[in-house]
Amino acid sequence: MLCAAESYPPGMHITPVILSGGSGTRLWPLSRQQRPKQFVALTGQRTLFQQTVLRAAEIEGVTAPVVVGNRNHAAIIGEQSREIDVEPRAVIVEPEGRNTAPAIALAAHSVDPDDLMLVMPSDSLILDEAAFRDAVAAAADPAEDGRLVTFGVHPSRPETGYGYIEVGQSRGSWSLVSRFVEKPDLPTAQAYLSGGRHLWNAGMFLFTARRLLEELTRHVPDVVETVAAAWSERSETSGIVLPGDSFGSAPSISIDHGVMERSDRVAVVPMDAGWSDIGSWEALWEMGATGAANVTLGETVLHDVNGSYVRSGDRLIAVIGLDDVIVVDTPDALLITSKSRSQEVKQLLPKLPDELR
């Protein structure tokens, strides 16, 4: 296999576009409204946001990143960028969240129309960064030729919490996309796993800014018109770009629903890079455990405990005689849940006082 640096078209420029507007509600109490999961060091010393920025910086021909995020997180984006000695090309803060299609359209206005945009969520984990670079390299040619390229992950289990991509005709290192599939029920997910024609949708894309705006104009013109107006009304202070308030009138629609599911120019590149969206505490357990093993962080004492994730904060946490549980301690909140129901953590938030959300 060629290394990624040998595979890129000469003279190509890639601008990482890092989407940082997620709330990470399923990882409460560590993830909060003012510091959601992408800004928390869930794995290792770096936050997920910092890991994403540094991972992108290793790609051949890459420019400084464009970050699109919540206006309330502008300070923390700047702080965490400085900690890793990266100065973003722009930090675009949305007046209000309108989903990924308008967010990516904003970024498209900030780059050269013919440069490639590598769109990535800021809260995913990738363990094999060399494999990630190889996948980006494989996506470069079809993206340069005007394809909208998405990245798919070979499923390792019948996951019902992810969207899927049905793979069509192969073009060598990439394939056409037959269709996108919403989160399936368990029997359907099991059939996808055994059939070998479906990939998890990693929510990452590569395309030129020009092609992206053309496809948005074809399929969701209201997004293009509203975002263009908001961009023309933007203000900028110390590298922070604030679009005009008309951005709030943009349709709230994802790039998947708005463009990828409708366009006839979509391609997929398989990516086996140890990807996870870390969508729950159970997902964090899965990353660090095999079989009935426990995953512990901080000062913990366990007795007769199996298959559990126990994370202490500033005090000792002791657990006895429990299997398949999640225990997460912070200075002002303690979460205890069965592992199988850890996806339901977000349902607690409406019941909490504002200062604990």
Question: Residue 8 — very low, low, confident or very high, per pLDDT cuts 50/70/90?
Answer: low
What is the structure's pLDDT at 161? 85
Whole-angstrom distance, CA of residue 108 vs CA of residue 101 = 11
High-pLDDT (> 70) share of the chain, %: 96
What is the structure's pLDDT at 238? 87
Average pLDDT, the chain: 93
The residue assigned the tokens 């604030």 is 242
High-pLDDT (> 90) share of the chain, %: 85
What is the structure's pLDDT at 10? 59
Whether the per-residue pLDDT at 166 is higher than 90: the answer is yes
Write a three-state SS string for 109-137.
Answer: HCCCCCCEEEEEECCCEECCHHHHHHHHH
Whole-angstrom distance, CA of residue 102 vs CA of residue 216 = 9
Give the class (CATH, top level) of 4-276: alpha beta
Q: Long-range contacts of range 8-12, CB-CB < 8 Å, 24 or more positions apart?
A: 8/60, 8/61, 8/137, 8/140, 9/140, 9/141, 9/144, 11/61, 12/61, 12/116, 12/140, 12/144
The residue assigned the tokens 């576009």 is 17
Cα-Cα end-to-end distance for the chain: 47
Instruction: Give kind and range of the element (H or E) at residue 70.
Output: strand 66-70
Backbone angles phi, psi at 266, to 5 degrees: -95, 135
Question: Residue 21 — very low, low, confident or very high, per pLDDT cuts 50/70/90?
Answer: confident
What is the structure's pLDDT at 3? 36
What is the structure's pLDDT at 2? 31
The residue assigned the tokens 């938030």 is 349
122: amino acid identity, one letter: S
Question: Residue 7 — very low, low, confident or very high, per pLDDT cuts 50/70/90?
Answer: low
The residue assigned the tokens 């912070």 is 330
What is the structure's pLDDT at 288? 80
Nearest Cα neighbor of 172 from 345, 346, 2 is: 2
Of 48-52, 102-106, 209-213, 353-357, where does mean pLDDT reach its minimum? Answer: 353-357
| Mean pLDDT, rounded, for 184-197 | 94
Q: In a 3-state reduction of DSSP, which class is residue 166?
A: strand
Whether the per-residue pLDDT at 56 is higher than 70: the answer is yes
- Give 177 or 13, the one with higher predicted confidence: 177
Whole-angstrom distance, CA of residue 6 vs CA of residue 135 = 13
Query: Could you state, in order of their start, the residue ranges of all structural domains in the chain?
Result: 4-276, 281-356
Whole-angstrom distance, CA of residue 355 vs CA of residue 141 = 48
Half-sphere exposure of 95 (CA within 13 A, CB side): 15
| Mean pLDDT, rounded, for 184-203 | 94
Whether the per-residue pLDDT at 351 is higher than 50: the answer is yes
What is the structure's pLDDT at 11? 59
Q: Which residues of 13-40 are buried (b: 16+ CB within 10 A; e: fewer)?
A: ebbbbbbbbbbbbbbbbbbbbeebbbbb
